[in-house]
Amino acid sequence: MPSSSFTPQLRPLSIGETLDAGFRLLRARFGTLIVCVLVPMVPLSIIATIIDASTNDQAFDVNATTTTTSDDGAVIAGTLIGALIQGAAAALAIAACFRVISSAYLGERAEAGPSLRYGLSRLLPLMVAYITLSVVLAVSALFLLIPAIFLGVKWSVTFAAIVSERAGPFSAIGRSWELTRGHWWRTFGTLLVVGLISLVLYLAVVAGLGGAIATSDNMSEFTYATLTTALTVILFAILYPLVASIITVIYYDLRVRNEGFDLELLAQGVGSDVSRFESAPERPDSTPPPQPRPEGGFSAPS
């Protein structure tokens, strides 16, 4: 697909326009995004499953009533190691997806191989940010759900900042907080739609797994582990590109709103060839559409 097939809208976008831009980017780069997810997720998910099964005899026993064994320490260690491996796979996949979508949004094409290598270079800050945010949000959710939702929206573009601006984990967290200042409700509304779509997909996968178990009289642990791992990878292969597409558009929209960055400055963040934008025909008109003047002669607030 030629790079001019998607024209980035470097002006403030409505929620509907943000979602539309994200879905268009997802369709335009879906094949590349799937590869970016499957390459790290398939082998690392298999390794995590093997570790979980080897440390917990009941991990994939469909008839088990508990997930613990006599050696609780091994179970906990295996669970933590498996979660860490899965987190690394997710971080690498998400970083590569952000790289692909960012380039597409700026009119460039990024292939899966370079995007994965770039994601690998950002793996450490992504993991630190992921662990930090997970702990803080989990603790806040133990007390009240509303603070957790508020913080989740405020920090929603942290990963995009780490990838696009090469920011450190804690500076990216602060960067996300600043970018969403004054735009919380707009960001929340967009993320709510994505969250509902993700929930439907998750429930569909859970229902499929439950149906497979129900139709099998005696499913072996190997079959159950294989089925669970495969469905998990398929779910992530759909969700990660979707979430990355929408959050990337949100991130650039927030930068346009707060900083008025043009295409060239944004392109520098993801390593694109800035010179090609000097006279590129796909450069959009960055001037926002005229706003109607309200009665009384006062301009609408920005």
At residue 10 the predicted structure's pLDDT band, cuts being 50, 70 and 90, is low
What local confidence, expressed as pLDDT, does residue 286 receive?
43
For 152-198, what is each residue's pLDDT tens digit? 999 999 999 999 888 999 999 999 999 999 999 999 999 999 999 98
SS3 237: helix
> Residue 296 CA to chain centroid, in angstroms?
44
Q: Does residue 274 register a pLDDT over 50?
A: no
C-alpha span between 292 and 294 (Å, rounded): 6
| Cα 45 to Cα 57: distance, rounded to the nearest angstrom | 18
- State mean pLDDT over 267-290: 42
Higher pLDDT, 35 or 300: 35
Around Cβ 227, how many Cβ atoms within 10 Å?
Answer: 17
- How sure is the predictor about 218, in pLDDT bands with cuts at 50, 70 and 90? confident
The residue written with tokens 């630190």 in the block is 128
Instruction: Evaluate if residue 66 carries a pLDDT over 70.
Output: no
d(CA 272, CA 118): 13
What are the DSSP calls for 124-166, one per residue?
A: HHHHHHHHHHHHHHHHHHHH-HHHHHHHHHHTTTHHHHHHHS-
Distance CA(173)–CA(168), nearest Å, equals 9
Which of 9-13, 84-88, 260-264, 267-271 shows the lowest per-residue confidence on average (mean pLDDT)?
267-271
Paired tokens of 117? 């290598």
Flag whether pLDDT at 260 surpasses 80. no
Strands of the chain (E only): list them: none
In this prediction, residue 185 carries a pLDDT of: 94
pLDDT tier, 3 (very low <50, low <70, confident <90, very high otherwise) = very low
User: 24-57: buried (b, 16+ CB within 10 Å) or exposed (e) per residue?
Assistant: bbbebbeebbbbbbbbbbeebbbebbebbbebbb
Tokens 């295996």 appear where? 78
Q: What average pLDDT does the segment 30-54 reach? A: 90
% of residues, the chain, pLDDT over 70: 77
pTM summary value = 0.77
- For residue 179, which of 192, 195, 193, 164 has the smallest C-alpha distance? 164
Q: What is the mean pLDDT of residues 68-76?
A: 66
User: Which range has the top average pLDDT, 52-61, 206-215, 246-255, 257-266?
Assistant: 246-255
> Does 120 score more than 80 pLDDT?
yes
Q: What is the pLDDT of residue 265?
A: 53
- Return d(Cα 206, Cα 211) in angstroms, integer: 8
Let me know: does 85 contact 44? Beta carbons within 8 Å: yes
